Structures are given as C-alpha cells and as structure tokens.
Chain A
C-alpha cells in the first residue's frame, strides 16, 4: 500500500513534443505529490508539486494532472527540449503519525531522452 508505481520506465520524445509520465498510488492518506528531476551524478531537484484538493497545477512548461478518484497523477512536459533529458521521479507523502514528519515514497523513475 505504500508503493508508488511509475511508468514508463523510459521515454524518448522529439524536441517540441509533449512528455507524459504517470504515477499511481494506493494509500489514500497521501496528501502531497511532488515531482523531482535528477541529472546523472546530481541530487534531485524539485520541479512542481500538488495537493489532492486541485486537479491540475501548471508551472511554466510543467503541468501536474491529478485524479483523486483514480489515485493517479501525471507530469506533462510541454515543448520538450534536449535539456529536459533527465530522470524524473514522482513521490507521494503524508504526515507520519509516529514522527510528525512528511516522509516520501518515491516512484521507480522515468528516464527521459529528448531528441534534438
């Protein structure tokens, strides 16, 4: 129940295209869903995050779509660029009752390659 399933494992998109990465979860207690971008040999960087009280959030070329009833959320990268080539991780979290801390459960990651 603590898993976050992410797909696809890898994705190749032409420059200017739309990249779509999907995540699904089971635990209805999750209430914060961030997306991170990671370049090789670097730490993850926060891209965008959403709470379940909204169905969509957009920041620049990045949009999160959230479907609470289906327990799914997705990242859309519009006008994909070669510089977007990286690994993307979704995560889900909720306030841990024992520690009072938001702990993340990460998806398995999607390796995106944008062709020039």
Chain B
C-alpha cells in the first residue's frame, strides 16, 4: 500500500533559524497537500501542489513538489514562535488513497 514518510519527526530550532521538513512517498502522486496543526488544535490546510516541480510560496513558507511527484518539502525561513506546531503532508494517489504523513513537530525557542 501507499507509504508516507516524513522527516524529521521532531525539530527544535532557535527563533530566526530556518526549518525544513520532507515528505516522501512510495508511489507517484496526483497531488500533495500540507497542513499545520497547532498544539491542542486541529489540522489546517496550508497549500496544495499539483504539478511536477511546482514551487509555491506563502510569505516565509516555501513548498516544493518533486519532479517525479514522489516527494515534497516545506521550508520556513526565519522561524517565529507562531510557527510552532506539527506539519503534515497528505498524499493523494489519484483519488485511490488519501494518506496523512506522521508529521514533523516543530518547536521554536525564543
């Protein structure tokens, strides 16, 4: 079945440092979505990537979809304490499966 891997599992950074989380799939994907869940909250949609090699930016967040559509990354520049939370990728296998990765928990030390 579809395997979703996300690394790292945890990341602790000093405020102002950059952060990157990676998502890898065992299958080619139709699209990938990223969600953020604050502590005690619920997952909130951030972005969807559809095209091979696609790069999208949201302020300090940069999302990338791999050329082979089997991996993706989320990069945060100059982290802030408001970035704290768990970042999930969610992989869509052409409507056959929609699977969330295990998430990367980000801690930002002020």
Bind each other? no
Chain B residues engaging chain A, CB cutoff 8 angstroms = none
